[in-house]
Amino acid sequence: MLVADALIEAAHTALTDAIIYYQNQPVGTIAARDPAAEALNYDQCFVRDFVPSALFFLMQGQADIVRNFLIVSLELQSRERRLDCFQPGQGLHPASFKVVGEQETEYLVADFGEQAIARVAPVDSCFWWLILLRAYVKATEDWALAHRADFQMGIQLILQLCLEARFDLFPTLLVPDGSCMIDRRMGLSGHPLEIQTLFYAALRTAQELLLPEGTGVTYLQAVTTRLSHLTYHLRQYYWMDLQRLNEIYRYKGEQFGDGAMNRFNVYPDTIPAWLVDWLTDHSGYFVGNLGPGQIDFRFFGLGNLMAVVVSLATAQQSQAITHLIEQQWQDLVGSMPFKICFPALAGQDWRTITGCDPKNIPWSYHNGGNWPVLLWFLTAATLKTGRADLAAKALDIAEKRLSIDQWAEYYDGRHGKLIGKEARKYQTWTIAAFLVSKTLLANPHHLSLISFEQELDTNSCVL
């Protein structure tokens, strides 16, 4: 292992090398710089991948690149109201973009999923853009940027896209499979936790950044109402602990009308065998998905950690999630923080749910792999719950390997001991997540860039 300072310097250099320029201005970072692998779209700036880079730049006082990123992403946001299914819907932000041409003829090309493998639509991008805008404003006090007419319009278009009544009657968002960090078929279609958590954070961001004037007033009202329903729904129905498991275990089916206990008609036989022993007295987590007749009991890393960071989880639930991480450390952290989802799909489930995806075999990649980018979420969540000791322990594990393994994208195996079968090296968000975690641990006040305080009272709110 490199000595601490040299390690940070190496990470810093690798991050600087990943910066991309547009019209001589830094505007983002490319996903990976692996000289040994075909670039595919890893030479593009992904919105979600840029998040840890941006946070680190903000913590370093290098706000320009983040400001430029926010401006160019906003320009790429789909603006026209279309009736053409082959064009991105109004308000959508791209998954990624790249710079094409040189000097005066330079232009940006965005990918809204029409190029991406399996043509997946990036629902998370618009939320990350909003969350980053808030982080930027918090770091710089540059309210003027967020208050610019084009930014206010950009925020309203995102809200319009999300708040419009659609084909279901839940406060959560109905999205297709592969529309977030897990951008391959993994059985996430419906109402996956990651999207709901980011949606929640985006709504809270909008409350802070939208001006209460003109159409802003109507949007602010809609945001407040939706937030309260969404929060109640997630805290109540997505929550899993032993008490809730006991309720589900004794559920009766086929209940009709207002008095139904088993609102979503979930059958107790769907409770997976691993879960009963995995939960302990004081632990709990948010399940992966909830829909008609369905609970996806898998534990998803990003959604749960982010739920703590942004206070979607109550203070008590946050403690329970932290407790679970501590109790199931080998399963969730193991040799590299942090598990993207637990447990892996295997056998017939793998066949039918992933579509026999060879990249997502059990305990690999999205299907139970360990992703170093999740280190920063883990650091933020454990700092927020007052467990800096867990953050330090995880960082210690990660820093022994990250540089030696050339900043691998992900790790395989039940405990994350193997460098991912097809993992890129010099993966930018791996590098940035390490730098963010290091910086957060040393200066926890930076947590406020991304976290929200507990303040929503949903006791009186019923679905």
Which stretches of the chain bind ligand GLC, using CB under 6 A?
Answer: 31, 42, 46, 48-49, 181, 183
Residue 263 Cα distances to 170, 260, 272, 294, 304, angstroms: 12, 5, 20, 11, 23
CA 295 to chain centre: 20
CB of 396 to ligand GLC, least distance (A): 25
What residues have CB less than 8 Å from 386, skipping those under 6 apart? none
Which CB sits closer to ligand GLC, 48 or 298?
48
Residue (118 or 144) nearer to ligand GLC, CB: 118
Closest CA to 380 of 459, 315, 441: 441
CA-closest candidate to residue 324, choices 285, 277, 298, 295? 285
Least Å from the CB of residue 304 to ligand GLC: 17
For 311, list phi and psi in degrees, rounded to 5: 65, 30
Closest residue to bound ligand GLC by CB: 31
Looking at beta carbons only, is 49 or 296 nearer to ligand GLC?
Answer: 49
Nearest to 340 by CA among 240, 237, 411, 436: 411
Q: Helices then strands (H, E): number in the chain? A: 17, 11
Query: What secondary structure letter does DSSP report for 365?
Result: T
Q: How far is the CB of 48 from ligand GLC (least distance, A)?
A: 5
Nearer CB in complex with ligand GLC: 146/302? 302
Nearest distance from C-beta of residue 183 to ligand GLC, angstroms: 5
Pick between residue 111 and residue 183 the one whose CB is nearest to ligand GLC. Answer: 183
Cα–Cα distances in angstroms (integers) from residue 273 to residues 182, 249, 276, 373, 450, in the given order = 24, 12, 6, 30, 36
Helix or strand run (H / E) with residue 348: helix 347-354
Nearest-approach distance from CB 21 to ligand GLC, in angstroms = 19
CB 31 → ligand GLC: shortest distance, Å?
A: 4
The nearer residue to ligand GLC, 49 or 412, going by C-beta atoms, is: 49
How far is Cα 241 from Cα 433, in angstroms, rounded to an integer? 30
Nearest distance, CB of residue 312 and ligand GLC, angstroms = 21
CB of 95 to ligand GLC, least distance (A): 7
Helical ranges in 267-344 per DSSP H: 273-278, 301-309, 315-327, 329-332
For residue 379 the two structure tokens come to: 């650091």
Pick the closer one to ligand GLC by CB: 158 or 182.
182
Q: Which residue has the tokens 């019209």?
A: 23
**Cβ-based nearer residue to ligand GLC, 180 or 201:** 180
